[in-house]
Amino acid sequence: MNLAILVPALPLLGFLITGLAYKRLNHNQAGIIASIAVGLSFLVSVALFFMLRNSGQNSATVTLFNWIALGNMNIPFAFLIDHLSLTMMLIITGVGTLIHIYSIGYMHGDDRVNSFFAQMNLFTFSMLLLVMGANYLVLFIGWEGVGLCSYLLIGFWFKNPAYNYAARKAFVMNRIGDVGFILGIILLFYTFKSVSFSEIFTQAGAMQVGAPAITLITLLLLVGAVGKSAQIPLYTWLPDAMAGPTPVSALIHAATMVTAGIYMIARSSILYNLAPITLNIIIVIGMATATFAAIIGLKQNDIKKVLAYSTVSQLGYMFLALGLGAYSTGVFHVTTHAFFKALLFLGAGSVIHAMGGEQDIRKMGGLRKKMPITYITFLAATLAISGIPPFSGFFSKDMILSKALEHNILLYILALGTALITCFYMFRLLYLVFFGEQRMSGAHPHESPKVMTVPLMILSVLSVFGGFLNIPSLFGGNLSFSNYLDSAVVSKSSEEISHSTEIGMIFLSVILLVVIIYWAYQTYVRKAQIPSGDEVKQTPLQRIITNKFHIDEIYQTAFEKPFGLLSNFLFKKVESIILGPSVDEVGTITSKLGDLTRKLQRGNISFYLFAMVAGILLFVVFILTI
């Protein structure tokens, strides 16, 4: 298991090589080195998977060194290799390798491509540190690392002020969540005198359900997860994160960062099972986020923005599963989502590459014949995210719908309705981009090079067959993926619905999905309707959805502007008038005192004689007066 150190070390080495020698490497060399580093990390992860399976153990701890030793506190820098961390390691390095290879073609010709690959390697390293840590502090280092890397990569094209704003927005909103996460870790240490997963979970097993300390801890950790995984109310940074290069979007949305919150809650499943209040809050947040983001996705016309809101919505589904205590189901959706979302973003990148940077789907059309590989792979991912059987998204989403139905019928209706909305806006996107007539004059779209299309083909295979990792008993399977995670996450048991009910549920959803797909086809292919621009009058509801419910404007009015005004006031009235002059005056006084005392050490004999005589006279006067 000592091989585990190589998993994060290889991307770190790739970062150092491409970062320090970036002036000596050409564009292809930097991309190849970065891709090999993550690819080797993937191979080591595969080796660890088989080593752990053959060992007959469920987990192994690899201690690198004693990190913090203070009094009774002893925190090692250690990795926990178990079924959950291995699952995440395989996703991060496997999907990450394909994204790195794709980037060689996509970023070719960019002036700062070597810096790009260095930052991508650092991003991968940070995420691996996050999922491999054996305690909350190592996890937190990776947590902050992905936050920093996302800031760097979202603002990669920093000469554009709007991109800088998007990077800063992501950084600030994540820091808001991080405050809760840090407080949660402090309270964990105060309660359990440890930050180690194994020690905390062992002690927590003896605590009562609903204990106030556990509830408060889980709520604070949840604040961090809400920020990192873009849930209501801290989701607005994720759609703006599209400012970065498309492979960055694929990496953030599919294999890293946004899955961190899901992973952290699943890792802490023992604590969350003891906090039913927190679980109910997670259900509300997850379901509201899934529906809210899906509705906004209906009116988006930027190809990447549509996918961004679909990510927020799918993350809501994952939170819903976590809130229902179905942690392995949530991680399963993380897995299938990594396949089809990476494919969707890379496919979108292929389209943008072919259209010379154009991202408005209203100006596209007719790309099906010009880009057959991109079209077929994009279609596979669209079917997967829509939940069409037997594509991967069907299995994971169906499991979440089943868990929702086990909880209550209203939750199931909301989850099903959100799935239908998702299906509509994804096929709206597919039809507008790939069907009909080409609407952009002067464009000469063409298929992308193999370095970009081969990763698309591999991801499309995973998007089609990835769901077979966890075939339920209804279809003759034994839920092998969920069973595999059982030793690492403790899912809450619930009353399972009957097979007849589940068959009826699947039949209903498939029928409705087919109707939705046909409706979208009639609207955007047969009738060739193109979404209207801002100049066309809309109904109030349409206008609200188009403007994303004005959430950004509300945040600007409620927080950004007041804090801006407060900052200006403090600068002009407090810092400029009181603090600044006060500090300057202290410096001036100190300087003058220094000038006075400096004479004592100048070596001026006449001054020394004068001081000696003055001292003697003062001493005599003092003696005579007492």
pLDDT digits (tens, 9 = 90+) for 535-556: 677 888 888 998 889 998 999 9
pLDDT digits (tens, 9 = 90+) for 167-222: 999 998 999 999 999 999 999 999 999 999 999 999 998 899 999 999 999 999 99
Rg (the chain; Cα; Å) = 29
- Residue 420: per-residue pLDDT: 96
3-state secondary structure 530-568: CCCCCCCCCCHHHHHHHCHHHHHHHHHHHHHHHHHHHHH
Contact 147, 174 (CB under 8 A): yes
Please determine, for residue 297, whether its predicted confidence score (pLDDT) is greater than 70: yes
pLDDT band at residue 475, thresholds of 50, 70 and 90?
confident
pLDDT digits (tens, 9 = 90+) for 397-427: 999 999 999 988 999 999 999 999 999 999 9
Please determine, for residue 86, whether its predicted confidence score (pLDDT) is greater than 90: yes
Q: Where are the chain's structural domains? A: 534-576, 587-625
Distance CA 147, CA 150 (A): 5
Distance CA 76, CA 62 (A): 10
pLDDT band at residue 560, thresholds of 50, 70 and 90?
confident
Distance CA 226, CA 266 (A): 14
Name the residue among 561, 532, 563 with its Cα closest to residue 545. 532
- Residue 534: per-residue pLDDT: 63
* Sequence-separated (6 or more) residues with CB below 8 Å from residue 32: 104
Name the residue among 273, 251, 237, 2 with its Cα closest to residue 106. 251
- Residue 98: per-residue pLDDT: 96
Please determine, for residue 496, whether its predicted confidence score (pLDDT) is greater than 90: no
- Count of CB atoms situated within 10 Å of the CB of 201: 16
* Sequence-separated (6 or more) residues with CB below 8 Å from residue 94: 42, 45
- DSSP symbol at 602: S
Beta bridge partners of 76: 66
Distance CA 66, CA 389 (A): 50
The region of weakest confidence among 160-169, 194-203, 284-293, 527-536 is 527-536
Q: Which residue has the tokens 């089943």?
A: 402
Name the residue among 180, 9, 199 with its Cα closest to residue 89. 9
Inter-CA distances, 117 with 22, 87, 156, Å: 10, 24, 11
Mean pLDDT score of the chain, rounded to an integer? 91
Residue 525 class from Cβ within 10 Å (0-12 exposed, 13-18 middle, 19+ buried)? middle
Query: Measured in whole angstroms, how far is the alpha carbon of residue 322 from the centre of its chain?
Result: 16
